[in-house]
Structure 1
Amino acid sequence: DDLGFDELSMEPVVSKAGSPEALTEADLPILFDQYELLAKDMLRREKAGHPITFYHYMIDLAHGPCIYKRISGCGSGTEYMAVTPWGDLYPCHQFVGDPDYKLGDIWNGVTNTELRDEFKLCNVYARPDCKDCWARLYCAGGCAANALHATGDIHGVYEYGCEVFRKRIECAL
């Protein structure tokens, strides 16, 4: 019943459609059932005095992220960057090694300002598909890397990820 963990974070696999590890629409009912079971188990543990924390269920409705973070998300490529052992700068760890997404290096700083500016515009309002989503200010339009890997565009919408995210928010609430 208990492996000794009191904090947990898990992410569903994001990969190109057709990859053997790729999750599909057929996996959603099982995934959703597991999220609901986890939420129920967390409530049971809380009542028993042995709570656990699941990162994706942590929502502070009273003192949550500021509106800027609710719109822009993680800040990849602008407030947050990955640095390789060779000093190369990328918008986040998921872009490392892709020459199209190299921002610069630690010696010269951000030299690909056009790419940086593209990431500045990567927010919930830049994604028309988010316009009517009830969860848009919880996810800020989603992950740019996931969007790129799923749609070929950092401004795209990874709909499968949206469905999973909405379920996690529903369970958290």
Structure 2
Amino acid sequence: MKKILLVVGAAAALASCREAGTAVQSHPSASGTADAKVLRFDTTFLKTGTTRTYPHTYTGKMLVGQTKKVAVPVQINWTTVEQAGCPQVAAVQVYQLNGSDRRTSLTAKAMRDAVCKPGQQPAGAVRPGSNASAYTGAAYLKLIGEAREIHRTTSVTFTLNGLGYHDTLDGDSATTSSVQ
């Protein structure tokens, strides 16, 4: 008899929750705290000391998946410093802007190329000639985004340099590969 009363009480409690407009979610909603900025990668290539650094920021959305896509908002901050005769990437930080949303995750790896070679300006143009400011070192990021709701992982190679140039994450790219 106690079991029957317990089951009836539980059903009444569930019915009252439904009437009050409350619901249980199996995953976090896209609103509220899902806009948290979470540091996913941080590295320093050069100790800048007292030299002047130049900060750069890029914010975009990494698309995960092929037919059904999930956007993972990303912010990339990097600092450049004058070293070895040209601007070099000194430090890189990668943030996932919806970091508290457990349905998506982002990881990153970085490699730095310190060779001074002609590099693109922030607008994407390469300056011809022997102008020293047109030479720069670069850093290459491998961003890996995972979307659990569509069971897909996407990897993107992202280039940035000491002059402020960066690739874009929005849209499809030839360097994007999707893995199941």
The answer to whether the superposition gives a TM-score over 0.5 is: no
TM-score by length of 2: 0.21
Higher strand share: 2
TM-score by length of 1: 0.22
Return the index of the structure with the highest Cα Rg: 2
